[in-house]
Structure 1
Amino acid sequence: MLLEILLYAGFAGITVIIGGLLANFFNHHMEETPVKYEITHTMMAFGGGIILSAVGLVLVPKGLEQLSLWPMIIAFIAGSMLFYFIDKKLAAKGGQMATLLAMLMDFVPESIALGAIFATDPSTGTLLAIFIGLQNLPEAFNSFRDMVLSGFSVTKTLVIFAFLSFSGVLGALLGHFVLSDYPEMTAYLMVFASGGILYLIFQDIAPESKMEKSFVPSLGATLGFLVGMIGEKVI
């Protein structure tokens, strides 16, 4: 069981560094053309669609199963307000870290849930790991661009992504050994994360993905949400 958790959590996390490497190649080794910018904006919208699907299909529904009304409201508002203040502070410094924050708010709770689920339903845990891995790829692709624009060097960004790739393993182990017997705590974490993610989507990710005289990026968002629908249906 422990080996399975390590393998699947490792797969779910390794797509973070893969997404960063792909973004580095795309941003620095491909000619600057209108098509390149259209692809970049489409990937941003695609990642936003996947994150939104994670909120609507995984994080909130799983949280609602365990929480009553007022705890749910408090956890959701707390997540929204925390990332409102974080985003406001970053904006004052000229930072563009919204996609990275959204990825973390999505990836960490799902990794913890992955570890907790494996204790009772390994088949569902396997499919959830695949789902997490698929959504991490475009999210990391977009986060790489944000971090470089914020002033991080390529090397430093890739080192951070390598660290994040393995943080999912730690989250899964935490969920398996600590929170598998406390589903309510996991639910609080999921709803808290959902509030923060929704704030970031509508404040930063969706506006940044829009491109003048191009309607393709919006299709990317719908395809991203479809990926989440497919993953949830399979699970």
Structure 2
Amino acid sequence: MQGALQAGGWGLLAGSALVMGALVGFLVPVPAPIVASVMAFGSGVLLSAVSFDLIAEAHEKGGLTPTAIGAVIGAVLYAGANAVLAWRGARHRKRSGGQQPSEEQQPGSGSAIALGALLDGVPESIVIGTSLLGGGAVSLVTVVAVFISNVPEGLSSASGMRRAGRGRGYVFGLWTGIAVISALAAVSGYTVLGGASAGVLAGITALAGGAILTMIADTMIPEAYEDTHLLTGLIMVVGFLAAFALSHA
């Protein structure tokens, strides 16, 4: 019970960054280059977490085959779901400019954006929960990486939602709900997978890593590149090294 509560608390902490970012993005006119720079930094942090905390851990637990299979399945599932949601109007859910369609322009796009946000957040939270299995400590690098990346995600998306004419209740209701679901996903990762074998855990961890890596490429980097251009790679490397240093502290 204590482990499940810890998993939920860490998942809620990471998910709360979405609400913080949304609060800033909806209420404060943050310049697009700043949003893009933070998004680039968050992308670098997540890339480091996927490389050294998820994929490396999966390989250590189960070897190359479960890791590779899990990562590919995660990438395929995310890309497929993301393609469907993009068709329904959620393609630019992380964009802060005027790319997001309003409900009048594309009916149902609001629901698609909500599902897209859920798609982005659940794999990260499940990994947070699984990191506590066996009585171990939570993966601090993963929590920090998810938290840092969630701030610009909430900020950018909320700014775009405001431009698309969506109200305050929709925006904050969405991100608060996703934060709560993130906590539940972390609890599920801890409880449902508690008796799983090392190979299964390796596959699940790699699946989440593959999904997150695909999410970075499909949704975060395009927003970062939109306004930072030649600085995108440099800022990403800084974020990558910051997370790498934390994992080896």
Could you say which TM-score interval applies, normalised by the shorter chain? 0.7 to 0.9
Counterpart amino acid of residue 201 in structure 1 = I
Question: 2 CA distance for matches of 1:228 and 1:191?
Answer: 19
Task: Give the drift of 1:153.
Answer: 4.1
Show the 5 A alignment for 1:17-166: 17-27=19-29, 36-95=31-90, 96-97=92-93, 100=117, 103-104=120-121, 106-116=123-133, 119-122=134-137, 124=138, 129-145=143-159, 153-166=167-180
CA deviations over 1:91-136 (Å, ceiling 9, x no partner): 33342236846741552233222442xx5234x5567545543443
Question: 2 CA distance for matches of 1:60 and 1:213?
Answer: 29
Question: 2 CA distance for matches of 1:63 and 1:232?
Answer: 16
CA distance 1:9–1:219, shift in 2 (3 Å) = same
Structure 2 unpaired stretches of 5+: 96-116
Pick one of 186, 202, 212 that aligns with 1:197. 212
Contact 1:106/1:193 (8 A) holds in 2: yes
Pick one of 198, 219, 224 that aligns with 2:239. 224
Report how many aligned residue pairs link the two structures: 224
CA distance 1:177–1:193, shift in 2 (3 Å) = closer
Task: Give the drift of 1:168.
Answer: 3.3
> Which of the two has greater helix per residue?
1
SS at match of 1:88: helix
Counterpart amino acid of residue 190 in structure 1 = T
CA distance 1:147–1:136, shift in 2 (3 Å) = same
Counterpart amino acid of residue 18 in structure 1 = M
SS at match of 1:81: helix
Task: Give the drift of 1:231.
Answer: 2.7
1:187 — aligned with what?
A: 202
Task: Give the drift of 1:6.
Answer: 4.9
Please report the RMSD computed on the Cα atoms of aligned residues, expressed in angstroms: 3.2
Structure 1 unpaired stretches of 5+: 31-35
Query: Taking structure 2 as the reference length, what is the TM-score of the superposition?
Result: 0.72
1:33 — aligned with what?
A: none
Question: 1 CA distance for matches of 2:9 and 2:208?
Answer: 25
Task: Give the drift of 1:162.
Answer: 0.8
Counterpart amino acid of residue 221 in structure 1 = M
Query: Taking structure 1 as the reference length, what is the TM-score of the superposition?
Result: 0.76
Contact 1:16/1:140 (8 A) holds in 2: yes
Question: 1 CA distance for matches of 2:189 and 2:84?
Answer: 31
Question: 2 CA distance for matches of 1:144 and 1:218?
Answer: 24
CA distance 1:185–1:17, shift in 2 (3 Å) = farther
Contact 2:125/2:183 (8 A) holds in 1: no
CA distance 1:93–1:38, shift in 2 (3 Å) = same
Contact 2:22/2:175 (8 A) holds in 1: yes
The answer as to 2:181 corresponding to 1:167 is: yes
